[in-house]
Structure formats: structure tokens, C-alpha cells
């Protein structure tokens, strides 16, 4: 009985484990597989295409592993015993040409989609893109809306009818900005700017986060991205303008201090040129300035 039970577990566990892993791949836990925008959709399709190409090698190998074991089994196998065999031009050609063809195909995809999915490339739309300046902090995200004169913390709202043009930097260590349901990640680095263009198919709420480990508060460095209708976004912007807080120099200095699981905040205004001021903090100083600081 004990032997039979153990044998059953050996057969059952490999079949059950994949199901347990797949059980967590729902809409909320695997947004990459459930894209909500054209950029993420193209990225997912590219992922599936590359995966399919690689299966050209994986599936035959898995099949042959079982087929060889059966064909060349000790009792009853029908495979020929050829101990002096050493080379086959056909097998050699298959082993080299098939992987080479896959590499060529993958290379073509990488070249083509690297340009097609360039994060700096603007997205064509019926309306002009909404420009938002993004600043990574310890451990939160600041979003500055130059067009509307408002700023928010850990909440990125935008109308679904307009492409989203993000200009990203960091006021701390390197971070990685990502909204999986809308598109891939891009780094945020102090003293530098990167760009990311996204678009949502329809109104919805999406999870965003930092995917680059950045210290104690990394696990809680989330933000929410909300695609709204034009009317909803207008109401949201008006709500932010009515906030009693403004992001002046003193308020920004306080906000930039490390904080974990920071709550959503709204600012009715911000210091003119705030984004450029943050960038300038990390700009290389001239030799004269460095000498004066040393003295």
C-alpha cells in the first residue's frame, strides 16, 4: 500500500504543479498577458511569437526523448544497434540549420520591433499627447502636469482618448517605471531623462510600479494609472486644482524624504521649472565650482 501511494504521488505531483502556477496568472497578477493598450498588445504578440519559434526546438526534443527511450528499450525495442556509427550528414544539417534559422528569425524580430516599439517614438492619435513629467523618489512616484499646472503623488490619471507622453527622471537611485498592462519598462536615472509613450484602449485602472530594486520601500513603491473619459479627466484635474497644498520648494524638499507606502496626494500647483531643477541637482559642475566647494 505504501509503495502504491508513493507511486501515485510521483505521477500526480508533476501534473498538479503547473496548474498551481497557472492559477496565479489571472488578469491582476499577469497584466502582460492581458494588454489594455496597443503598445502592450504588440509586445505580448512579440513575446508569443518568440516563444513559438523556440518551441520548434523544444517540442521535437521532448518528443524524441520519449520516442528514443521506447524505440531503443532493452526488451522489445525495434531500433537498430549500430555501435560503429559515428556521423550523419542529415542529422548534422538539422542540428545546425534549424537553430540557425530560428536565430535569423529572432534577429529579424528584434531588429524590426526595436524600431517599431521605440519608447521615444510618438504615438499617432486623433488628439495631441498629454505630457506628464515623472520623478522617481524614495519610495514613491511624483507626476507633474505642465499643461494643467498640477501635480500628484502615486496617481497617474489621463484621458483614454489621448496618447500619454512621459518624460522620466529620478531624484534618488535608479528606478524602473512600468505599467505592465500598457507597455514595457524604462529606467529612471538621476540627472538624465528617458521617454515613454503609451496609450490605453479604453477607460480603466491599471497597476504601475518600480521594477528596479531600490531599498527598504521597494516592495510598496506602487502607483495607480487611471485612463478616464474626457469628462472624468476634466473633473479629476479640477479636483486637483482645488487642493489646499502647493508643491513649492519647501514642500518638495519634504516630499523627497524617504517614505514607505506613501498615500496618494494632490497639489494645486508646483514650483516653476521643478522638473528641470531636479535634473540640475545632478548636473556635472564646472572645475571652478568644484574648486570653490573644496575650498
Task: Indicate the DSSP class of residue 213.
Answer: -
pLDDT at 6: 43
DSSP 202-225: SSEEEEEEE-S--STTGGG-EEEE
Q: What is the pLDDT of residue 292?
A: 43
pLDDT value, residue 26: 45
Q: Which CATH architecture has domain 130-280?
A: Sandwich (2.60)
Q: Which three cell numbers stand for residue 139?
A: 519610495
Instruction: Say what the pLDDT of residue 14 is.
Output: 52
Can you give the pLDDT at residue 97? 92
The reported pLDDT for the residue numbered 85 is 86
Q: What is the pLDDT along the chain (295 residues), one digit of tens a residue?
A: 444 434 454 455 555 555 555 554 444 567 888 999 999 999 999 999 999 998 988 999 999 999 989 988 888 888 888 888 888 999 899 889 988 999 999 999 999 999 999 999 999 877 899 999 999 999 999 999 999 999 999 999 999 999 999 999 999 999 999 999 999 999 999 999 999 999 999 999 999 999 999 999 999 999 999 999 999 999 999 999 999 999 999 999 999 999 999 999 999 999 999 999 999 999 887 655 544 434 4
All cell numbers assigned to 293: 566647494
pLDDT in tens, 51-75: 999 898 899 999 999 998 998 888 8
| pLDDT value of residue 95 | 87
Contact 279, 193 (CB under 8 A): yes
User: Between vectors from CA 116 to CA 189 and to CA 194, what angle results, nearest 5°?
Assistant: 15
Structural domain boundaries in the chain: 31-70+91-117, 130-280
Pairing of strands 150-153, 265-267: antiparallel
Q: What is the pLDDT of residues 119-134, one digit of tens each?
A: 999 998 778 999 999 9
Amino acid at each position: 500500500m505504501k509503495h502504491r501511494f508513493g507511486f501515485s504521488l510521483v505521477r500526480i505531483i508533476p501534473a498538479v504543479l503547473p496548474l498551481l502556477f497557472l492559477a496565479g496568472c489571472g488578469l491582476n497578477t499577469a497584466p502582460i498577458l492581458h494588454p489594455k493598450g496597443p503598445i502592450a498588445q504588440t509586445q505580448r504578440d512579440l513575446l508569443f511569437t518568440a516563444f513559438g519559434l523556440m518551441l520548434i526546438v523544444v517540442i521535437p526534443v521532448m518528443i524524441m526523448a520519449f520516442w528514443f527511450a521506447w524505440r531503443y528499450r532493452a526488451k522489445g525495442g525495434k531500433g537498430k544497434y549500430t555501435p560503429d556509427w559515428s556521423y550523419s550528414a542529415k542529422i548534422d544539417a538539422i542540428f545546425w540549420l534549424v537553430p540557425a534559422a530560428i536565430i535569423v528569425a529572432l534577429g529579424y524580430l528584434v531588429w524590426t520591433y526595436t524600431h517599431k516599439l521605440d519608447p521615444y517614438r510618438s504615438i499617432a492619435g486623433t488628439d495631441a499627447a498629454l505630457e506628464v513629467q515623472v520623478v522617481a523618489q524614495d519610495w514613491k512616484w511624483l507626476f507633474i502636469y505642465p499643461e494643467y499646472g498640477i501635480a500628484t503623488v502615486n496617481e497617474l490619471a489621463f484621458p483614454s482618448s489621448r496618447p500619454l507622453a512621459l518624460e522620466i527622471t529620478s531624484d534618488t537611485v535608479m528606478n524602473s517605471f512600468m505599467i505592465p498592462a500598457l507597455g514595457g519598462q524604462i529606467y529612471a536615472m538621476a540627472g538624465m531623462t528617458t521617454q515613454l509613450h503609451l496609450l490605453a484602449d479604453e477607460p480603466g485602472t491599471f497597476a504601475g510600479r518600480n521594477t528596479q530594486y531600490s531599498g527598504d520601500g521597494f516592495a510598496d513603491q506602487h502607483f495607480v494609472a487611471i485612463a478616464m473619459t474626457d469628462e472624468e479627466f476634466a473633473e479629476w484635474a479640477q479636483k486637483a486644482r482645488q487642493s489646499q497644498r502647493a508643491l513649492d520648494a519647501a514642500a518638495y524638499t519634504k516630499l523627497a524624504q524617504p517614505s514607505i507606502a506613501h498615500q496618494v496626494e494632490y497639489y494645486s500647483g508646483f514650483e516653476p521649472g521643478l522638473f528641470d531643477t531636479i535634473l540640475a541637482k545632478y548636473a556635472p559642475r564646472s572645475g571652478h565650482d568644484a574648486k570653490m566647494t573644496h575650498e
